[in-house]
Amino acid sequence: MKRPIPISAVLASACLWLGAPAVEAWTSKTHVEIARQAATIAPPDLFRQIKRNEEAFVAGLSASLASHAKASADGAELLRQIEAGATAAVAAIENHRPFREIVHHLGRLAVSAADANNPLTHSRADPEESRYRSDYEAYVASAAPRFPVIFYGEGRDVRSRTALGALVAQIESRGSGLYPLIGREYRRIGAVDGVRLFDDKSTAFGVGSIAFSHAVSDLAAIYRYVWIEAGGADRRELPVTQPGGEATSDGEQLGK
């Protein structure tokens, strides 16, 4: 069985466009990092266009972040935005719009994909969530530089609208499955102080790490879908298998 490919290994064979920015959790820097990592492993011809039009890419990111700042992120709305954004990007390529416009669409898509992979956007079932939400995001920001970022290939060779819908459904299912684990961790430690009390073997660390890696993997798959659906090519083969999840310190399996 093939193991997932560390994104660092993929980046090593690409140009050094990324640099090494600090990674934070669900902040503007996190969105930029997710977007740039995903773009670098997008189809090479599309990546070159993103790189040439980086200003438009960042403008799309900024515009989407600004609109999200005005309203709470909602999982169902984010998933709708992913499908609508991918469709708009395909149409822009097919209609021979300038690449700066196409790349702007891709920047906006990055924010939706990143936020949709935050488990806290998929439910409000835990009445205590408001107590720990900001603390957990601060914890993940502190832990993110230690995340072993992985590219998950399984289920991400997206070549149709139906397959795109299936990918979006996977995001929702995974987020809903991870959501209760965060509240459970806060009840386990009996305090709202994740930075001090969660260690790198905790479920809290595992959830954050998985969410970040899946955000990069999902966005890369969406970019590949946009390019191929619009008539582009990508001759590379994606890995198609992965382990059955990552175990936490207590042996619990986290979602794929």
pLDDT of amino acid 238: 62
Mean pLDDT over residues 191-196, rounded? Answer: 95
- Element housing 151 (H / E): strand 150-151
Question: Which of 2.60.40.420, 2.40.50.140, 1.10.575.10, 3.30.565.10 is the CATH number of 5-229?
Answer: 1.10.575.10
Q: Where are the domains of the chain?
A: 5-229
DSSP summary character for residue 145: G
Mean pLDDT over residues 172-182, rounded? Answer: 93
> Cα separation of 117 and 112, whole Å?
9
pLDDT at 105 over 90: yes
Mean pLDDT over residues 165-187, rounded? Answer: 92
The helix, strand and coil proportions of the chain, stated in percent and rounded to the nearest 5, come to 65, 0, 35
> Cα separation of 87 and 225, whole Å?
10
CB 74 within 8 A of CB 121: yes
pLDDT at 247 over 90: no
pLDDT digits 0-9 by tens, 19-60: 444 344 466 777 788 888 899 889 999 999 999 999 999 999
pLDDT at 171 over 50: yes
CB 122 within 8 A of CB 179: yes
